[in-house]
Amino acid sequence: MKQYEYLAKQALRDHGIPIPPGRLVNTPEDAYQAVQEIGPAALKAQVLVGGRGKAGGIRFASTPDEARDVAKAMLGMDLKGYTVERLYAEGKLDIEREFYISVTTDRNKKVPLVMASLAGGVEIEDVDDSQIVRQWVDPRVGVLPYFGRELAQRLGLTGTLARELADLVVKLYQIYRERDAELVEINPLAVVNGHLMAADARLNIDDSALFRHKNLELIEEGSELEKKVHQIGLAFVELDGDIAIMANGAGMAMATVDAIQYFGGKPANFLDAGGGASVEPTAQALDVLVSMKPKVLFINIFGGITRCDDVATAILQVKEGTGIPVPLVVRLVGTNEKEGVALLEQAGISAYSDMAPAAERAVQLAGEGRS
Amino acid sequence: MKQYEYLAKQALRDHGIPIPPGRLVNTPEDAYQAVQEIGPAALKAQVLVGGRGKAGGIRFASTPDEARDVAKAMLGMDLKGYTVERLYAEGKLDIEREFYISVTTDRNKKVPLVMASLAGGVEIEDVDDSQIVRQWVDPRVGVLPYFGRELAQRLGLTGTLARELADLVVKLYQIYRERDAELVEINPLAVVNGHLMAADARLNIDDSALFRHKNLELIEEGSELEKKVHQIGLAFVELDGDIAIMANGAGMAMATVDAIQYFGGKPANFLDAGGGASVEPTAQALDVLVSMKPKVLFINIFGGITRCDDVATAILQVKEGTGIPVPLVVRLVGTNEKEGVALLEQAGISAYSDMAPAAERAVQLAGEGRS
Amino acid sequence: MAVLLTKNSKILVQGITGNQGRFHTKQMLAYGSQVVGGISPGKAGDTVEGVPVFDTVETAVQKTGANASIVFVPAPFAKDAAFEAMESGIQLLVMIPEHIPVQDSIDIVTRAGELGVTVIGPNTFGIISPGEKTKMGIMPNHIYQPGPIGVVARSGTLSYEIAFSLTNGGFGQTTVVGMGGDPVVGQTFISVLRHFKDDPDTKGVVMVGEIGGSAEEEAAEYLKTFGKPVVAYLAGRAAPPGKRMGHAGAIIERGRGTLESKEKALTAAGASVVTMPWQVVDALREAMAHV
Amino acid sequence: MAVLLTKNSKILVQGITGNQGRFHTKQMLAYGSQVVGGISPGKAGDTVEGVPVFDTVETAVQKTGANASIVFVPAPFAKDAAFEAMESGIQLLVMIPEHIPVQDSIDIVTRAGELGVTVIGPNTFGIISPGEKTKMGIMPNHIYQPGPIGVVARSGTLSYEIAFSLTNGGFGQTTVVGMGGDPVVGQTFISVLRHFKDDPDTKGVVMVGEIGGSAEEEAAEYLKTFGKPVVAYLAGRAAPPGKRMGHAGAIIERGRGTLESKEKALTAAGASVVTMPWQVVDALREAMAHV
């Protein structure tokens, strides 16, 4: 779960990492007061999209009156599909240098990874590899100050900056560890008056660990439709095609999307109905797919834990309820296959047992494909 | 640093371990209000002495008025040499069973040790070894709930009590670890209405770790004299004899006390002047020894880091300042021995180079010993 | 005839009295797995499908000589269960739950490394050795068949699809290993491939990968000296960058983990990479013919 | 001619630019110790007594091939320094500071066990091998002399007293080890005695113990099969129970750690236990005569 910039900054401050003076702004009046208190400031839209600056999501205000006007213009504006509901007013900084630092999990080495660079201020993937210093953390040891001193040395920092970096990386790792962060990133890590300060920050919390961070406000990314399906408890991603797809299991769902595209069709979505979903959520998910008004609805099930008769029942439930006003292609094999196929056939739906011809047929019905 | 009962209980509560309702009582009026709020209560003197109950440090009050009277009597009373300054009013419990549990450090195995017994309510050293369950903690793993389930199983607990114990030991270890405890002990761990509750608690904090627990109120044990020497930064214990002793290093100081006793003398104190103490604290310590009005003052120095001339200077400083109105025996060898001995001789003090005859002479001068 | 899990594996079920634990204990017993005990604190003395229930893994190991355990407890308690198993001497640990916090998985995997414990998962369908008639997992029993092919997969249903097509295509399996879909799991393609390399009965291997991470790229490096035919299928060809496709692991992030880079690396290492799941059998037949 | 510390030990000084670090670097060099580098963050490039200073142990080890380190940093930073040394490959670590939190010492000692690092201390005067003309510690240089006696002690000045009396009595030392006065330290009497047993040049051993804990009792068990003469002196005979005599370790608590129990155990194991420090030499002479 990505955290808004102001929440990420708050986490840094709570752990003793210096941040610029800032205020959360919910109304134009807040903006007025914020600039009155902290002086000329950047007003930054609190939305979870990249490239916020270029899209007009960061504007400056020198006076309280100007801040009020700017906030008026920004609050409620649309930024790459997201409505700006909050701003963060942050004092203007006289930045001397811009570094980069982050802690994340290395999936291959299965340990935390600290990345740092003297070339900060741009996305880290735009930084040449030779300018990035990587140090892996032994989780048994954690990050002690010496780790930071070694990091500073590799970066070529000395004196105050080296000392401050050593201290900062200890705290950054505490945030990563204690807050179950997938990523905690300071970019730019600014040098202001010869001291380190977190000019911008990202903090992504591990969704699976939210149960032990109950004080966190829930922030959901994604389209309204995606949020709706996530609430059913299923993984769902909107794509830009017109063949709606349901499959069970993340791998199968990905393979199904791949298969539709393989035959020249355009997948409308990724939907993992779960490895063992029961009738109700499956029916709810189908309802959402129908509401997308696709050209074709393609259901691809390999029943392991999932029972084919449950899937069939869900299909019939939706068909008799909301209705399925588009061509339907079903591939159904595995546990209770016979029962499921029989149920569908009674309703006039014939099911495929192989994935390839089923996917091909779905593409054909959508009027797409190679033929 | 030992914590008062009410502070130990507060620590337990902060970590989610159930404690009886209680209020800190500084005045008789506090006691009145406390009993008004929590009903019939025990008023417990907050002093760091054992056997508090037998010495009259725990009394009961059924009504607010009674509580006021009892508190009036108890506040300011002397309990084994300590003045009672605070009481802790605690709701009366209907205790069904009394268990014991503690976490401490096993000095031999160099890991934390959890001890538990179903025979609680008495000092653990009075419990037969066969009734005590010991489980050592792997510090790399810490205490997870399964550790507590194993403990409960060994104790023979089942059902609710087993579940609660498993949960409690996790929290107890957190206190031990996060608060740098030498000992955290719940005794009795009471069963009240079928649930576990900490009826009494001890919490001793590692003095060396106080720098990272700056919010802790400093609590000093010991006599006024001991507190005074501790403030100089030296280790000091009052004994009940009349030969005052100063030595450098804890082992040497112990050996010196032993030597005085060996020759039949009565040591007045243990004083470790430190492995490398300079003139000033040494002189201050000598001042304290003189103020004890001993029969003899015995100084036993093997100069390693400690310089013999520094010790001699300190002795002369005190002699010329406060004065040393009792016989003085000095044994002085090691680093800068010649310079030190020369300084003393100029002032008419002759120094021994061997420990045995020096100690024997000190005992003689005190009019004690075997002869 | 198998890697990691054999008929000598004496299996515990942690969380045996829950719905999932109960159901899969029955399925495992039906398949032939040697399930010797179950754990459910407070339920010692009960039995589930004839399997005795214990309060702690420690006792279960003492009483049954178990050396393997499969964990079905809810994710928030999974770390506790995993450590209980490892500290009690379990050597093969299958972690079924999804949504285990990554920090917990890091701790589990780190400790497993210290103790030499093999962890399968978390967020896995488990491991099955058809020739040994034993499984630890939630996979359907009927789709596997003994034979010479090792299968290692990241995700569940997709591996069923492929295992079933192998079975139908006449390729039985030595062992099928589900590594699990989480960002941090106990196994890597390489660690599993090593076992397949050492197993004389495994004549060829199917890898089922997906976008995200760089496990496939690292495996490719190892494959250069593997010496047995390998067919790889990778899911997520059509996945857009930056979107999580179900698995926490399945995401193309910051230019890493693309299908192209994986495909390229595997092909260069001599693996036969197919585009669609139903092409695996033909590709395998061809690869095996060249041996 | 020595245990643990030999003339091949290449020594770093962590905290070399502090008063203590500077002073004892000089003393160690004067004694003959091979001090190859010092650590003081931010002071890289400086020298102390001709010894080059580095910012990190990592670099110092790379540049000098150091395998041992002595720590002089203030107690709150000691854990950091110890881990820096251990993670950089240091094999012999002497921790001088007193007042290191016990939890930190537990972490240090646990990690040392994992990595096979020998930790002397914390709160120790260090270790000296007179015959090899090398020391890591704060002990005075002039009181030792090469010879056949191993000395292992808990406390500093008292060990000086005894070492000096050994020297004056004609008993030189192979190695003198200060275990340290803290409740949790890296060594036990047993771990040090093992080295003395294996060292052919060590013909007899003097143990300097004290009240508190049960290290002496455990050592007694080991002494039964030690095979070399041992003289033990224990301090704290006159110490009252429940009072801490300076060392955090030196306390008779809850009936444990009394002098009587230690004395009894050691005597039963064949050690010659003396009552006063000045009796050590005579007892040793007698014990060695019986060999």
DSSP state of B208: G
Task: Supply the mean pLDDT for chain C.
Answer: 94
Which residue stretches of C15-122 are H helix?
19-31, 57-64, 78-87, 102-115
- The proportion of chain D whose per-residue pLDDT surpasses 90, expressed as a percent, equals 85
The pLDDT of residue C138: 94
pLDDT at B175 over 80: yes
Report d(CA D175, CA D144) in Å as an integer: 9
Answer yes or no: do B80 and B125 share one domain: no
Answer yes or no: do A171 and A261 share one domain: no
Report d(CA A167, CA B276) in Å as an integer: 32
pLDDT at A370 over 70: no
CA-only gyration radius of chain A, Å: 26
Answer yes or no: do A135 and A203 share one domain: yes
Would you call the peptide bond into D122 cis, given omega within 30 degrees of 0 as the criterion? yes
Q: Distance (Å) from the C-alpha of residue C169 to the closest C-alpha of chain A?
A: 13
Instruction: Check if the beta carbon of residue C33 is closer than 8 Å to that of residue C6.
Output: no
Helix (H, G, I), strand (E, B) or coil at D78: helix
Per-residue pLDDT of D85-96, as tens digits, reads: 999 999 999 999
DSSP state of C193: H
Could you say which of B91, B120, B143 is where a domain stops?
Answer: B91
Per the CB < 8 Å rule, is A145 touching D42?
no
Could you say which of A91, A124, A149 is where a domain stops?
Answer: A91
Report d(CA B267, CA B254) in Å as an integer: 11
Answer yes or no: do A205 and A137 share one domain: yes
Report d(CA C216, CA A107) in Å as an integer: 12
Report d(CA A19, CA A40) in Å as an integer: 16
Per-residue pLDDT of B101-148, as tens digits, reads: 999 999 889 999 999 999 998 888 888 989 999 999 999 999 999 999
Report if residue A349 sits inside a domain. yes
Report if residue B109 sits inside a domain. yes
Sorting pLDDT into bands at 50, 70 and 90, what band is B335? Answer: confident
pLDDT at B277 over 80: no
Q: Distance (Å) from the C-alpha of residue C57 to the closest C-alpha of chain A?
A: 24
Which residue does chain C place closest to A354, by CA atoms? Answer: C278
The residue among B123, B177, B254 with the most chain D CBs within 10 A of its CB, best to mutate, is B254
Q: Is C208 on the interface with A (CB under 8 A)?
A: yes
Which residue does chain A place closest to C107, by CA atoms? Answer: A139
Report d(CA D155, CA D233) in Å as an integer: 12
The pLDDT of residue B292: 92
Q: Is C290 on the interface with A (CB under 8 A)?
A: no
Dihedral, CA atoms, D104, D107, D110, D114, nearest 10 degrees? -130
The CATH number covering residue B146 comes to 3.30.470.20
The pLDDT of residue D270: 95
Q: What are the chain B neighbours of D118 within 8 Å (beta carbons)?
A: none
Per-residue pLDDT of B32-73, as tens digits, reads: 999 999 999 999 999 887 778 888 899 999 999 999 999 999
Report d(CA C280, CA C284) in Å as an integer: 6
Query: Which CATH architecture does the domain made up of C11-120 adopt?
Result: 3-Layer(aba) Sandwich (3.40)
Report if residue A5 sits inside a domain. no
Report d(CA B180, CA B207) in Å as an integer: 9
Report if residue A9 sits inside a domain. no
Give the residue-averaged pLDDT of D108-120. 97
Answer yes or no: do B203 and B132 share one domain: yes
Which residue does chain A place closest to C257, by CA atoms? Answer: A107
Instruction: Check if the beta carbon of residue C157 is closer than 8 Å to that of residue C101.
Output: no
pLDDT at B333 over 80: yes
Answer yes or no: do A134 and A192 share one domain: yes
DSSP H or E segment with residue D173: strand D173-178
The pLDDT of residue A158: 94
The residue among A258, A299, A332 with the most chain C CBs within 10 A of its CB, best to mutate, is A258
pLDDT at B368 over 90: no
Angle between helices A64-74 and A28-38 (to 10 degrees): 140
Residue A337 one-letter amino acid: E
| CATH 3.40.50.300 corresponds to the domain D139-289 | no
Strands in C41-188 per DSSP E? 47-48, 51-54, 68-71, 92-95, 118-120, 126-129, 134-137, 146-153, 173-178
Answer yes or no: do B281 and B318 share one domain: yes
Sorting pLDDT into bands at 50, 70 and 90, what band is C49? Answer: very high
Could you say which of A91, A113, A130 is where a domain stops?
Answer: A91
DSSP state of D278: G
Answer yes or no: do A76 and A199 share one domain: no
The pLDDT of residue A47: 87
Answer yes or no: do A160 and A29 share one domain: no
The residue among C103, C237, C256 with the most chain A CBs within 10 A of its CB, best to mutate, is C103
pLDDT at B225 over 60: yes
Report if residue B193 sits inside a domain. yes
Higher-pLDDT residue of D149 and D259 is D149
The pLDDT of residue A54: 81
pLDDT at B253 over 80: yes
pLDDT at C248 over 90: no
DSSP H or E segment with residue B130: none
Q: Is C213 on the interface with A (CB under 8 A)?
A: yes
Report if residue A16 sits inside a domain. no
Per the CB < 8 Å rule, is B110 touching D76?
no
Q: What is the 3-state secondary structure (H, E, C) of chain A?
A: CECCHHHHHHHHHHCCCCCCCEEEECCHHHHHHHHHHHCCEEEEECCCCCCCCCCCCEEEECCHHHHHHHHHHHCCCEECCEECCCEEEEECCCEEEEEEEEEEEECCCCEEEEEEECCCCCCHHHCCHHHEEEEECCCCCCCCHHHHHHHHHHHCCCHHHHHHHHHHHHHHHHHHHHCCEEEEEEEEEEEECCEEEECCEEEEECHHHHHHCCCCCCCCCCCHHHHHHHHHCCEEEECCCCEEEEECCHHHHHHHHHHHHHCCCCECEEEECCCCCCHHHHHHHHHHHHHCCCCEEEEEEEECCCCHHHHHHHHHHHHHCCCCCCCEEEEEEECCHHHHHHHHHHCCCCEECCHHHHHHHHHHHCCCCCC
pLDDT at C137 over 80: yes
Q: Is C160 on the interface with A (CB under 8 A)?
A: yes
Least confident of A61-75, A140-154, A241-255, C247-261: C247-261
Q: Is C211 on the interface with A (CB under 8 A)?
A: yes
Q: How many CA atoms lie within 13 A of A89 on its CB side?
A: 30
Answer yes or no: do B267 and B200 share one domain: no
Domains C11-120 and C139-289 agree in fold: yes
Report d(CA A228, CA A242) in Å as an integer: 19
Task: Supply the mean pLDDT for chain B.
Answer: 92
Q: What are the chain A neighbours of C275 within 8 Å (beta carbons)?
A: 258, 262
Instruction: Give the tokens for residue B179.
Output: 């608060």
Report d(CA A116, CA A187) in Å as an integer: 10
Give the residue-averaged pLDDT of C95-101. 95
Structural domain for B102, as ranges: 97-212
Per the CB < 8 Å rule, is D110 touching B111?
yes
Report if residue B259 sits inside a domain. yes
Answer yes or no: do B301 and B231 share one domain: yes
pLDDT at D145 over 80: yes
Closest CA to C248 of A183, B314, A30: A183
Task: List, by residue number, the catalytic residues of A.
Answer: 100, 185
pLDDT at C251 over 80: no
Instruction: Indicate the residue of D76, D237, D238 with minimum beta-carbon distance to B211.
Output: D76
Q: What are the chain B neighbours of C87 within 8 Å (beta carbons)?
A: 138, 141, 146
Number of domains making up chain A: 3
Report if residue A218 sits inside a domain. no
Answer yes or no: do A249 and A184 share one domain: no
Closest CA to B194 of B336, B291, B97: B97
The CATH number covering residue B67 comes to 3.30.1490.20
- The proportion of chain A whose per-residue pLDDT surpasses 70, expressed as a percent, equals 99
ipTM of the complex in this document: 0.92
Q: Distance (Å) from the C-alpha of residue A211 to the closest C-alpha of chain C?
A: 8
pLDDT at A187 over 80: yes
pLDDT at C249 over 80: no
Report d(CA A278, CA B307) in Å as an integer: 83
pLDDT at A371 over 60: no
Among this protein's residues, is B98 annotated catalytic? Answer: no
Give me the residues of B, 155-194, that contact C with CB < 8 A: 158-159, 162-163, 166
Which residue stretches of chain B are H helix?
5-14, 28-38, 64-74, 145-155, 159-178, 224-232, 250-262, 279-291, 308-320, 337-346, 355-365
Report d(CA D139, CA C166) in Å as an integer: 74
Q: What are the chain B neighbours of C114 within 8 Å (beta carbons)?
A: 140
Residue D284 one-letter amino acid: L
The pLDDT of residue D247: 66
Domain ranges of chain C: 11-120, 139-289
pLDDT at D134 over 70: yes
Give the residue-averaged pLDDT of B282-304. 92
Q: What are the chain A neighbours of D77 within 8 Å (beta carbons)?
A: 145
The pLDDT of residue D249: 61
Instruction: Give the tokens for residue D60.
Output: 């110092």
